[in-house]
Chain A
Amino acid sequence: MELHILLIFMILGAIIAIEVKDLLSSVVAVGAVGFALCLAFLILKAPDLAITQLVVEILCLIILIRATIKRDLPLVIEGRWVFNTISTLVFMAVFMFCAWLALKELPRFGEPLMLVVKKYLAEARVSTGAANIVTAVILDFRAYDTLGEATVLFASVIGIMAVLRRPGRKKNK
């Protein structure tokens, strides 16, 4: 249910990003779509992907906003130092509290949980027939990941060839 609301929100955001005239509003709409995707990853129980998406999204948003704004935004800090200091301290306290809650749940250092790996170590040789368990994991249990990795490599090679091909062609003419 939450996922459907998020998906509708993302589709609406994408349409707004295409249709709106102002470039900065378009960038903000794209950012909203990205953050909704981050929440969708969280709902689908993929927190590592959600963190990656969040970091990449923030970086892309900063670069895009910097690219679309023509002039520098002046930083106004005079006369507001009380408010600024208090808000900084409050946010630091909130962050520390959340970090303390999260770190309490981690397993102790040097004692990993190894829930999935135990199964792989026990069953890999019998169920795949491969003597090298690393290969058994990357090409059998997790072959889908490897397919994605190979696709990334393929796309990067195509990109490099596309960018660098033009001088080579000029030489032939």
Chain B
Amino acid sequence: MSLIVKTITRLTVGLILLFGIYIILHGHLSPGGGFAGGVIVALSFVHLMLAFGKDTAVAKISSNLASNLESIGALMFLGVALLGFLGGSFFLNILGKGQSFKLFSAGSIPLSNIAIGIKVGVGLFAIFLALVILEKSKKEG
């Protein structure tokens, strides 16, 4: 890509990633949540890949690391669900509710949001990576 695109990407990609993390962490306070924030996080990496090519993005998150992180996110969400068994039933919100409208409130809901955010973000990026690798190997082969 051209110099303009590279410079703009260098300036904005961190902000996009930060905005995705903000959406995930404030899912229980403002509109958004794990799914929407995860897509924004994935888009920041896709942005990086579009501007600087596949190798730069893979250096940040390799395909294997993406698969592992996605599995970790799924298991973490299941772990939050199983945490409810300490209080008696599946998905019971046993952590402290806290004061609403504060960042640390609502018990296990932020934890679930973080787990879904990791899962969705890394999963979408893994799909994009797999499609790019397929396209490259088709061109070479």
Contact = CB atoms under 8 A, between A and B. Distances in A.
Interface string A123-143: 001001111101110111001
A45 interface: no
Contacts of B31: 132, 134
B54 to A, nearest CB: 11
Contact of B105 (A130, A134, A144, A168): A130
B140 A130 contact: no
Contact of A129 (B81, B107, B130, B134): B107
Say which size band chain B's interface belongs to: 35 or more
A143 B112 contact: yes
B77 A153 contact: no
Contacts of B50: none
**Chain A interface, >50% SS class:** helix
Interface in B17-43: 27-31, 33
Interface in A119-173: 125, 128-132, 134-136, 138-140, 143-144, 146-147, 150-151, 153-154, 157, 160-161, 164-165, 167-168, 170-171
Interface of A: 125, 128-132, 134-136, 138-140, 143-144, 146-147, 150-151, 153-154, 157, 160-161, 164-165, 167-168, 170-171
